[in-house]
Amino acid sequence: MLNTIGYEGADLDDFVQTLVQAEINTLIDIRDRAQSRRKGFSKTALSERLARDGIAYIHMRELGDPKEGRDAARAGNWSKFKKIFEAVLKTDEAQSAILSITDLSKSANTCLLCYERDEKTCHRKIVSEIIEKKLKRKTRHLGVRQFEREAA
């Protein structure tokens, strides 16, 4: 099964607990740069933390949104953002990464990671829609437990 999650505003423990409760086997980081100002969400720290709960970590930079795409999205220029990311998706590396995720999602509960809490404003939604079509299954977009508790 394919899932997605964003860590914007999330506490690391709540984030990991959300993945554990969703029975995620593998977290696939599709950030261009797996660095974060948020403590615990950079590549090494996050992969080590996930390993303690039996969750594998893979960084697929090939599916990352480049800086100019992130800048366009932050500015609300969605057409520019989509055009930039569509160019990324046309690369052989991105197509190979999509096939790898599709294959992995057939046998494992995988989750795409990026920053934005709302998947509708993130490139991971575009990636997940491509994989949905290949799998013929809907993607589950996870919300971090902390936010779900606050909304209740």
Domain ranges, residue 68: 2-151
pLDDT digits (tens, 9 = 90+) for 54-72: 999 999 999 999 999 999 9
> Into how many domains does the chain fold?
1
The structure tokens listed for 67 are 């800086």
Strands 26-29 and 56-59 turn out to be: parallel
pLDDT for residue 5 is more than 80: yes
Q: What is the mean pLDDT of residues 24-38?
A: 95
Please check the confidence at residue 123 and state whether its pLDDT lies above 60. Answer: yes
- The answer to whether residue 148 scores a pLDDT higher than 60 is no
The pLDDT value given to residue 121? 87
Per-residue model confidence (pLDDT) at position 146: 61
What is residue 27's three-state secondary structure? Answer: strand
Give percent of the chain above pLDDT 90.
89
Confidence of residue 145 (pLDDT cuts 50, 70, 90): confident
Checking if the pLDDT of 132 tops 60, the result is yes
Contact yes or no for 118/33 (Cβ under 8 A)? no
Residue that is written with structure tokens 């057409």 in the block: 79
Q: Is residue 58 helix, strand or coil?
A: strand
Mean pLDDT of 66-82: 94
Confidence of residue 152 (pLDDT cuts 50, 70, 90): very low
Mean pLDDT over the full length of the chain: 93
C-beta atoms surrounding 90 within 10 Å? 9
